[in-house]
Structure 1
Amino acid sequence: MAPDPGLLRLRVSLRAVLGIALAVTLSELAGLSLTASITGGLAALLALFTVADPTVRGQAVTTALLPAVGFPALALATVLHETPTLRDAVWLAVIFCGVYARRWGPRGHALGIFAFMTFFVTQFLHAVPAQLPDLYTAMTLSLVASSAVRFGAWCIERRTPPPAAPAPKDDRGLARPTTRQAFQAFAACAFAMAAGQVLSQERWYWAVGTVWWIFVNTTSRGETLVRGFRRLLGTITGILVGLLVAVPLQGAPAPTAALIAVCVFGIFYTAALSYSWMMLCVTVMAGLLYGLLGVLTPALLGLRLAQTGVGALGAGLAVVLILPVTTDAVTNRWVRRALHEVHGCTATAARRLAGDPDADPAPRVAQLEALLGRVRLSLAPLVHPLNPLRPRKERARRVLALLDDCAREARGLAAVAADPEASHDTRLTAACHRVESAVATLVGASPKHLTRPHVEPSPHHPGAEQALAHLQRLEHALTSLSQPLQGTTFAQP
């Protein structure tokens, strides 16, 4: 029921179904085995789901690099399948490197996920070295097919500019969140491997997979704990649906393929909205795949739930005990950056109103929206319904509401500035200075007023009046933020 401006989520989801269906069809037409076709389908899904560079060219380059990590991972996983100790050690090394690679942005993130999941799928399918040629062929065909859909037949990105992405941090060593997460994921996966193998020598890898995906797109301790809860909730509901849908089918090809397509659509359509809903779709799809392989039983679904619980426990222990990154520490960074961007939007819009044709506030507003998305994500643990700390929950909600007010006024100001008839009003300069001072007070900095070109004032122009109204409401929202931020570390240096 969430809004879908431009039906973007719908189009991305339908494109994913088309790309993955084409990939699997090519594998089947090539006479490859079911194991190879499933591997190819997963490769296409990952290419469409995880590759998120800000430009189409960057996405194409990252997609082309996927085999560079996928092929070695396939080879290692299959060759080491009969030597569990060495296999586990190598997989832990892949996990550490995959998480650490996130420091290089979307490309490192996508390549790390692809390497991990390629290793994972060989455990899921019990692939052996003799199958490597088929697996390589299926992966290559699938990446070509999904790329043909994504970059050729249905290139949504060329028509929809990607949102602005926050710049990477300058932290070094253990101060860098991705470094800390690499150690946390390594320890959590080691725990999941050991505990998972106690539960089952055949399906232990589900616990490791749970840990990995809990750590994806999280930074702080609170984010990870909330994601673990949502993963468990989505798995439970997915198993209940699987008992009603997947088990009775027992791998019947046509209806199973149709339902897998529905699950793929659900994964892409709900991913940005609800991790629990996405995990429901993933769990049902896994059950359907097990049905195709002829091993699906209610007991197997129960084992998956137990392995998910083990993985969530391992992730929770790791983020609490090993180099923890607190929610306040992460939120502090994003709130500060969002506040600075509010001032950037204001200053750029003011220059545009003052007659500077090169000043365009639209990119700054897009950047602000992206930063607010990260603020919402970092504050999600504090506003979660299960958070028992009501004062902190209410304070976090107040911060989010006021930052949303800031974004709304910044958008309105940018829209007024885009009007070529809008002209400068001397009151705008004073209002911009007050906004700058309000931001400086919140982040503990000294205001640095910008000089603006001199233009003859036109105080009664409707555009100037509207801009002034936006600036006044923006100043009020920033001033109101001082109360909920007081006594927190959200915006202190």
Structure 2
Amino acid sequence: VVPDLSVRVYPPPLAVWNVAYMPCGGVNVLPSAEPDPRRHARLRRRLHARQLRLSEAALMIEGWSAEPGALPVGWSGPALRRRLLEAHLAIDALAAAAETLAEDGGELLPAAARIAGHLGRREYGAVEYVARPLLEPRTGTAAPGTGRWPAHHLAAAAVEYVTLAGTATAPPPYDDITDEAYDPVVTLAQGNLPGSAAVASDVAARGSHWNPLSRLTLTTRQAIQVAVAGSLAILAGRELSQARYYWAVLAAFIAFAGTATRSETSIKAVNRVVGTLVGLGAGIGLAHLTAGHTAWVLVVIVTSMSLGFYLVNVSYACMIFFVTIMVSQLYSVLHEFSAGLLLLRLEETALGAAIGIAVAYFILPTSTRDTVESARRAYFRALADLLDRAAPTRPDGTGLDALARSLDHRLQQLTLVARPLTRPMTWGVNSRLVRHRLTLYAATTRQARALVRSGFPVPPELADTCTALSRTATALAESTPRPDHPVPGVTQALTTAGTTLLTHRPHCPGTPLPPITQPLVHLRQLLTELAMLPSAPATTAPANQPTTSPR
């Protein structure tokens, strides 16, 4: 599903949204042949990654919308936020229906795959043509295995998205959207989303009970770490080479650049060594091929620079790989190239990286687990604020839009700082459990977003449910789950929420529930699972109900 929203009309902020979901993951997750479980699981993970990427794009737009001249004529920041939330919800519904349909199968699977394919190619007329038969009312109960209801939901979400795309150039005509001063929920750092330092800035270093330096600010602690690592790299590097020791100093210094926790520093240092090692062989081979051919040397240098900076956000090791090739070519031009020189560079780099890792772990270390715990608490506080605002009978819709985006921001921060813990074979961490719980947090965020857009005012009888769920989120923010033990105070709040949902369920068969009921039910289920830290990780989550996060 490729968000369109008229990139031809909108300036750069919406161009970010336009590429956030390309290429489409929803098309491939709907197989037309005999399903392969491993392939299906891989495509599901890719689809979830695209959804997270879409949320990050929405946050980028949120931050850029406050810049002068960033918005189209006639639009305001709150109006753009509302439109993107609506499109985001339609895409969430598409993804959930696609997962359920791909899991259950059925005769309507090919039609659903065609809908997803037309959406990916922005063939909106064809989407409505294929979706119309799936939306026609049918009498009787759908037979098991037909995939009727998931296909119906996918078709409805597709038509809703097509409708939004057709009105992309006009602001939403809602009375509760005003042209007041726009205050984005995220502040960009040099045009990008803030990194992990924004979360780790409030986290004390390990050993704060005995070391007063541990309570210094993050930037001050990192300055001390860099000073110590640089000094040690100079002393150790000079033992290897009196002339090239600066390679060790660079490796130690760069390990701390753009990182906040000891795991991030270690991963970056290791990636630098790996990139240098692999680039060493490629650099030597290319240097012999281009020797004496200045034009080819320039081509290799420019290509290496371009590819290195293009891939830096994909893999830091890839960038260092191409940087090593570029350095090899430069030394060849300067007539200083030799295999021994590149081997010395590898040794100095490995030495500096080892020193950086040691300093990150033993000198004022910022724990990744402590940073994840801080992000987790901030996430639940943001969720509690949203549910608390939704509890009154006439909440401010614009304010709820901002709180929904704030929750997206907290999820993005939590996912960012927990990323080192999701790697296989992480010492002392169950990476599968971390990935599972991160999926639960993502599902909770989607249901909170659906709650915001499900229609207001909230029925008075369901306001008590919002209040009970808000108390649950507050309790989760103040305590840490333990294996097989619920967080204190959560059980009673969840029981209250469940009781109010059941008490006010319509007694007459066929009476529709208020639209807000479904996201409240899902939120209660998700918070129940998040309140318990299982002793053994669950294998997989239901296809249409993603599951988890660290802690």
Q: Is the 8 A contact 1:230 1:276 kept in 2?
A: yes
Bigger mean CA offset, 332-341 vs 257-266: 257-266
8 Å contact from structure 1 (residues 223, 377) kept in 2: no
Distance in 2 between residues matched to 1:206 and 1:9, nearest whole Å: 40
Paired residue for 1:294? Answer: 335
SS at match of 1:259: helix
Structure 2 residue 380 is the aligned partner of structure 1 residue 339: yes
Deviations 1:200-247 (A, max 9, x none): 222211111111221122222222222222222222222233233344
Task: Check whether the contact 2:390–2:463 (CA below 8 A) recurs between aligned residues.
Answer: no
2:316 counterpart of 1:262: no
Q: Report matched runs for 1:180-259 at 5 Å.
A: 180-250=221-291, 252-259=293-300
Q: Provide the C-alpha distance between the structure 2 equivalents of 1:442 and 1:267, rounded to a whole number of angstroms.
A: 42
State the 1:57 CA deviation: 10
Aligned match of 2:165? none
The 3-state SS of whatever aligns with 2:437 is helix
Q: Compute the displacement of 1:423 (Å).
A: 4.5
In the alignment, structure 2 segments of 5+ residues that lack a partner are 4-15, 23-62, 69-186, 205-212, 480-488, 494-503, 537-548
* TM-aligned CA deviation for residue 281 of structure 1: 2.9
Correspondence list, 1:239-388, <5 A: 239-250=280-291, 252-348=293-389, 354=394, 356-361=396-401, 363-388=402-427
Q: Distance in 2 between matches of 1:462 and 1:209?
A: 65
Tell me the distance in 1 between the aligned counterparts of 2:334 and 2:372: 45
- Structure 1 position 463, deviation (Å): 10
Within 2, Cα distance between the matches of 1:290 and 1:161? 35
- Alignment equivalent of 1:410, drawn from 444, 448, 473: 448
Check whether the contact 1:338–1:368 (CA below 8 A) recurs between aligned residues. Answer: yes
1-structure distance, mates of 2:258, 2:250:
15
Q: Deviations along 1:27-75, whole A, 9 cap, x unmatched? A: xxxxxxxxxxxxxxxxxxxxxxxxxxx669999xxxxxxxxxxxxxxxx
Q: Choose between structure 1 and 2: higher helix proportion.
A: 1
Contact 1:219 1:330 in 2 (8 A): no
Q: Deviation digits for residues 324-358 of structure 1, max 9, x if unmatched?
A: 2222222221111122222334445667x835244
Code of the aligned partner of 2:469 = V
Check the 8 A contact 2:384/2:471 in 1, yes or no: no
Q: Which residue in 1 is equivalent to 2:219?
A: 178
Q: Provide the rounded CA distance (Å) in 2 between the counterparts of 1:261 and 1:284.
A: 11
1:440 and 2:440 aligned? no
The one-letter code of the counterpart of 2:476 is L
Q: What RMSD in Å do the two structures reach over aligned CA positions? A: 4.2
- The change in CA–CA distance for 1:434 and 1:236 in structure 2 (over 3 A counts) is farther
In 2, Cα distance between the equivalents of 1:461 and 1:256? 75
The C-alpha deviation readout for 1:128-172, integer Å capped at 9, x for no partner, is: xxxxxxxxxxxxxxxxxxxxxxxxxxxxx99x9854775784679
Aligned to 2:500: none
Question: Which ranges in structure 1 are unaligned for 5 or more consecutive residues?
Answer: 11-53, 60-156, 450-456
Deviation larger for 423-432 or 184-193: 423-432
Whether 1:401 aligns to 2:439 is: yes
- The verdict on how the C-alpha distance between 1:168 and 1:223 changes in structure 2, with shifts beyond 3 A counting, is closer
* TM-score, structure 2 normalization: 0.51
3-state SS of paired residue (2:243): coil
TM-superposed CA distance for 1:309, in Å, is 0.6
Q: Aligned to 1:474, which of 523, 542, 549?
A: 523
Aligned-partner SS, 2:237: helix
Alignment-derived partner of residue 431 in structure 1: 465
Q: Aligned partners of 1:433 and 1:323: how far apart in 2? A: 41
CA contact (8 A) 1:246 1:287 kept: yes
Which structure would you say has the larger Rg? Answer: 2
Partners of 2:302 and 2:367 lie apart in 1 by 39
- Distance in 2 between residues matched to 1:224 and 1:464, nearest whole Å: 49
1:186 Cα offset (Å): 1.3
Q: How many residues align?
A: 331
* Alignment match, 2:48: none
2:399 alignment partner AA: A
Quick one: structure 1 residues 183 and 163, their matched pair in 2 at CA, closer, same or farther if it must change by over 3 Å? Answer: closer
Letter in 1 for 2:522: R
TM-score w.r.t. the length of structure 1 is 0.56
Structure 2 Cα separation of the partners of residues 257 and 181 of structure 1: 38
What secondary structure, in the 3-state scheme, does the structure 2 residue paired with 1:325 have? coil
CA contact (8 A) 1:423 1:461 kept: no
> What amino acid is the match of 2:425?
L
- Cα distance change of structure 1 residues 491 and 57 upon mapping to structure 2, 3 Å threshold: closer
2:391 and 2:467 in contact (8 A); partners too: no
Change (3 A) 1:8 1:401: closer
- Separation in 1 of the partners of 2:66 and 2:287? 39
Choose 327-336 or 221-230, whichever is displaced more: 221-230
| Contact 2:284/2:339, CA 8 A, preserved across alignment | yes
Identify which range, 259-268 or 222-231, moves more after superposition: 259-268
What is the CA–CA distance in structure 1 between the aligned matches of 2:282 and 2:17, rounded to whole Å? 30
* Percent of aligned pairs with the same amino acid: 25
Contact 1:210–1:312 (CA<8 Å) still a contact in 2?
A: yes
8 Å CA contact retained: 1:191, 1:314: yes
In 2, Cα distance between the equivalents of 1:250 and 1:463? 75
On the 8 A contact 1:406/1:477 being kept in 2, the answer is yes
